[in-house]
Amino acid sequence: MTKLTFAAHPFLLGFDQLERLVERTAKAGNEGYPPFNIEQSSENGFRITLAVAGFREADLAITVEDRQLVIRGRQSDDGDDRIYLHRGIAARAFQRSFVMAEGVEVAQALMENGLLHIDLHRAVPDPVVQTIRIAKAGK
């Protein structure tokens, strides 16, 4: 039996990248740290907010790799010899990734009260109508 995928449908020409994108998103994992919100800030704007209490700007890295927004956090070890009687605040590293659609770009990132806000904007292209001329066979 042949496996039929949605990108193999005869009416969906050139959507094989979309199928790979869905597979990559499914493999991203569902780890719950750090918690985040995604909100629509305007018709073509989005905001991702991550709760990164205890992290400084220097502890965070934001990159876009192959249409994938990747946020990494690693708290630097202060090197002091503290003796904890109870350590309930985790100082763990994280990586959180979001797949962005084509045309979506990062507008800005800012820290505010332990929250990292990343604003995204979708560029809306002008509608294009193209007329295709039919050539005669053999010429």
Supply the range of the domain harboring residue 57.
Answer: 33-78+87-124
Classify residue 4: in a domain, yes or no. Answer: no
Contact 29, 40 (CB under 8 A): no
Provide the number of structural domains found in the chain: 1
Tell me the pLDDT tens digit for each residue of 35-72.
Answer: 999 999 999 999 999 999 889 999 999 999 988 999 99
- Determine the residue type at 37: N
The bridge status of strand 60-64 relative to strand 68-73 is: antiparallel
Classify residue 68: in a domain, yes or no. Answer: yes
pTM of the model: 0.71
pLDDT tens string for the chain (139 positions)? 555 566 566 666 676 766 776 676 666 555 688 999 999 999 999 999 999 988 999 999 999 998 899 999 998 766 667 888 988 876 789 999 998 988 999 999 999 999 999 999 998 888 888 898 999 987 6
CATH number at residue 41: 2.60.40.790
Classify residue 24: in a domain, yes or no. Answer: no
Element (H, E) at 91: none
- What is the residue-wise DSSP string for 65-88? -SSEEEEEE-PPP-------S---
Classify residue 100: in a domain, yes or no. Answer: yes
Classify residue 8: in a domain, yes or no. Answer: no
Classify residue 43: in a domain, yes or no. Answer: yes
Classify residue 57: in a domain, yes or no. Answer: yes
Listed in sequence order, the residues at least 6 apart from 77 whose beta carbon sits closer than 8 Å to its beta carbon are: 91
Classify residue 3: in a domain, yes or no. Answer: no
